[in-house]
Structure 1
Amino acid sequence: MHISDEVLDDLRARLGRTRWPSPGLGAPWEQGTDLDALVALCRYWRDEFDWRAIERRLNAWPQIRTSVDGQLIHAFHVRSPEPDAFPLVLLHGWPSANIEFAELLGPLTDPVAHGGRAEDAFHIVCPSLPGFGWSGPTRQPGWTPHRIAGAVVELMARLGYERFGSHGGDWGSMVTSQLGLHFPDCVPAIHLNMVISTPPRDVADPLAGLTEVEKARVADMRARGRSEMGYQQIQSTKPAAVSAGLNDSPAGLAAWIIEKYRAWGDCHGDLASRFTDDVLCALLTVYWATETIHSANRIYAETRRAGPGASLPTSQVLAPMGYSRFPADGFAPPRAWVERLYDVRSWVEHDEGGHFPALEVPDLLIGDLRGFFTGFR
């Protein structure tokens, strides 16, 4: 991956010309991204952030670009030195990119060098989802999790992997679920750090039989649905309404994205406690330089238009599933609901971490992936 000096110079110039809004009313972050925090991050992005250093570290890992189903796909492809390593796909979500998993590539592919066992090794394929980063922008409609799952199977076959596991969070969890639903012969097991399961409709009281903890989590999910999903309504119905501004203003792009890391991460209101400025600026730079915020946002509208079967499973997922729950993640359906659609073989609940565990608590996620896939190699 490479970003030209011209693009980086233009980015800094635009950050320097930002026309900031008047200060918000009410408490910081109450109505979206806090202005002071945004100004500070954008100044760091303009004056101190070193994309070239990030680029060098990322380019130390082997990568591929190939056309699948008419769409150019970029992926990290890191083979393990262990001959019996198990192929594993890592799938990100929104507003993220495949670089989210960069710190996992070494420990997963070469566990012996990172305090693990040779039998825990994986061959890793970590693509950018179509429409995101260097796999975008998409030029055709219809890129839903269902279609992306088919593209992943084709990509893996092209790389020589006829049998593989998949892990995902956010949109990556939906793609992974589609893999487990439609391709169980080549995907023997799936692992998720986000699972969406709706209340059962064939019972009078969906909350009956749940523990008090589970009932509290359901109430929290519903509360978050009322307060945290405004972005989803826009991106599911009128994504173009904000795309021009986000594609033209790096400060606007940052405001749209970093609020999600604060809201969904396990940072208790302190964004910097889980996500460094370098991590945030690297993710923002990927969106900016590839001009993919519109096509990334559009996955919501494309999926909504296609109907629920294009994202969430509507019948039993045959591939066994492992789930890692991180407490700050907003999706926490009761296990009984999840087991209606998934063959749950592992259910791990952690005491820390949020929606982006690969960035927040990578060691916990690495341990869960090693442990779960042991029985499916």
Structure 2
Amino acid sequence: MKNVTEFKVAIPQSVLDDLKSRLKNTRWPGEAEGSGWNFGTSESYLRELSQYWANSYDWRKHEAQLNKYPQYIAKVNGTKIHFQYIKGKGKNAKPLILTHGWPDSYYRFHKIIPLLTEGEQSFDLVIPSVPGFGFSDKVALTSEAVADLWKALMTENLGYEKFFAAGGDIGMGVTKALASKYPNVVAGVHFTDVGYPMGQEDPSTMTEAEKQFAGFVQQWWYSEGAYAMVHATKPQSLAYGLNDSPVGLAAWILSFVNAGATPELLEQAMGGKDEFLTNVMIYWVTQTIATSTRMYKVDAIAQWSGAQQLQKSNVPAGIALFPREAQFPQEWAERSVRVVSFKKMKDGGHFAALEVPTIFADEIRTFFTVLNNP
């Protein structure tokens, strides 16, 4: 490995003490009687969660869990990149870089690490924190720029000639850019979503299934897409409150999780209550909520200005469409990637690696193993 140093998560106790004080001194806004989740995050639920966070949640326990697997810091083209790097135990382990999205973090994949590094059909897992998230540099970059860093990390810092890549949400955009720009080194890609119609498509070129999907997305955008519009237009205005209030931060992230899961599935959707809070904690202790949301703005500027116009990739792509994701048709995916496997999964949602890790890991292993052994 070149220009790489070991890393451990070690948050000062003063940060944890300050967090507990802020939780206990929250100024609650109140909510309309019987409103539940209809106006946003439920205050009654959030009060219970905050009490648990302040009095029962054990960061040190989860910090030790984060440090269970090897972590490193690499300087990649001048940017500090934090990443986990776990070698597969099989004789012919293949390199695989996994990219998270928002509002999660590299922690999205912690449950599948043992599932993908054990056995003969194993992988060398590289799980970085996207710049602006967690323990990487606090800078917001476009998805294409992050893809450039990932290519350099894998080939220059870690020395791989070819590698696989997978991701969802923001990680989808990064992985798609990797495949488009670097087909000579990216041997295969896997997605759980492939982007959404944004009104730029010519309707005459769309199938009936694509038109129905576009109609669904438009309706969803009006009812649930406020977070993305704020991130892509006024992220700095939002950041002051989220960086100052842990309850505000949790409430905003819960609003997004709730969009893909009914209230009774809310904690399950991110793997459990402690898993949800650990993910929120990574934003809190690193103060990266501002730069993470800012990525939406820089990506939007690049896309609408024409600076980011990726060509359709010819790299073999697998897609796992989980039931609580937006149900896009295969032909929509084929507009941007070369689909060689399209599977509709039986269980799980947006954070499948946290919610149904065995199902997700089995799909990843099967796709890349078959791809590598036609």
TM-score of the superposition, structure 1-length normalised? 0.91
Output the CA distance in 2 between the equivalents of 1:23 and 1:202.
Answer: 43
CA contact 1:73–1:128 (8 Å) conserved in 2:
yes
Q: Is the 8 A contact 1:236 1:300 kept in 2?
A: yes
Structure 1 residue 240 displacement after superposition: 0.6
Deviation of residue 189 (structure 1)? 0.7
C-alpha separation in 1, matches of 2:239 and 2:90? 44
- Among 9, 13, 17, the alignment partner of 2:21 is 13
Partner of 1:24: 32
How is 1:140-219 mapped onto 2 (pairs within 5 angstroms)? 143-157=141-155, 158-198=157-197, 201-202=201-202, 204=204, 206-208=206-208, 210=209, 217-219=213-215
1-structure distance, mates of 2:305, 2:356: 31
Partner of 2:277: 281
Aligned to 2:131: 130
Q: Secondary structure at the match of 2:124?
A: strand
Task: Tell me the equivalent position of 1:297.
Answer: 293
Query: What is the one-letter code of the residue matched to 2:105?
Result: A
Q: Deviations over 1:46-76 (max 9, x none)?
A: 1000111111112110011112232211110
Report SS of the residue matched to 1:318: coil
Q: Contact conserved, 1:87 with 1:123, CA < 8 A, in 2?
A: yes
CA deviation string 1:16-35 (max 9, x = no partner): 11011122356311111000
- The alpha-carbon distance between structure 1 residues 312 and 191, as it changes in their structure 2 partners (threshold 3 A), is farther
Query: How far is the alpha carbon of 1:361 from its aligned partner?
Result: 1.0
Q: Give distance in 2, aligned partners of 1:248 and 1:233.
A: 21
Which residue is equivalent to 2:51?
A: 43
Mark the CA change 1:284 to 1:319 in structure 2 (over 3 Å): closer, same or farther: same
How far off its partner does 1:201 sit?
A: 3.9
Structure 1 SS opposite 2:254: helix
Identity of aligned residues (%): 35
* C-alpha contact 1:162 1:186 (8 A) present in aligned 2: yes
* Cross-structure match for 2:334: 339
2:115 and 2:358 in contact (8 A); partners too:
no
Matched residue type, 2:357 = P
**C-alpha distance in 2, partners of 1:193/1:328?**
11
Q: SS state of the match for residue 156, structure 1?
A: helix
Residue 115 (structure 1) aligns with: none
Superposition pairs of residues 194-343 of structure 1, within 5 angstroms = 194-198=193-197, 201-202=201-202, 204=204, 206-208=206-208, 210=209, 217-265=213-261, 267=262, 269-275=264-270, 276-307=272-303, 314-330=310-326, 332-343=327-338
Counterpart position of 2:116: 108
Counterpart Cα distance in 1 of 2:126 and 2:152: 12
DSSP 3-state at the match of 2:90: coil
Q: How large is the Cα RMSD of the aligned pairs?
A: 2.0
1-structure distance, mates of 2:101, 2:203: 32
Q: Secondary structure at the match of 1:135?
A: coil
Residues 1:336 and 1:313: Cα distance change in structure 2 (over 3 Å)? farther
**Runs (5+) with no aligned partner, structure 2:** 1-8
What is the alpha-carbon distance in structure 1 between the residues aligned to residue 126 and residue 170 of structure 2? 17
* Alpha-carbon distance in structure 2 between the residues aligned to 1:310 and 1:79: 39
1:228-260 superposed Cα distances (whole Å, 9 cap, x missing partner): 111111110110111011111101101111121
Separation in 2, partners of 1:25, 1:137 = 40
Residues 1:66 and 1:59: Cα distance change in structure 2 (over 3 Å):
same
The question of whether the paired residues in 2 share the 8 Å contact of 1:258 and 1:280 is answered with no
Partner residue in 1 for 2:348: 353
Q: Is this contact kept in 2: 1:313–1:341, CA < 8 A?
A: no
Q: Which stretches in structure 1 are left out of the alignment for 5+ residues?
A: 113-117
Q: Secondary structure at the match of 1:270?
A: helix
Q: What is the CA–CA distance in structure 2 between the aligned matches of 1:82 and 1:53, rounded to whole Å?
A: 30
User: C-alpha displacement at 1:123, in angstroms?
Assistant: 0.3
Distance in 2, Cα, partners of 1:133 & 1:311: 27
Residue 365 (structure 1) aligned to one of 357, 360, 364: 360
Aligned mates of 2:192, 2:98 — CA distance in 1: 11
Distance 1:273 1:341 in 2: 31
Q: TM-score, normalised by structure 2?
A: 0.91
What per-residue deviation string (whole Å, max 9, x for no partner) do you get for residues 295-346 of structure 1? Answer: 000000011111259898642212111000011113x322112212211000
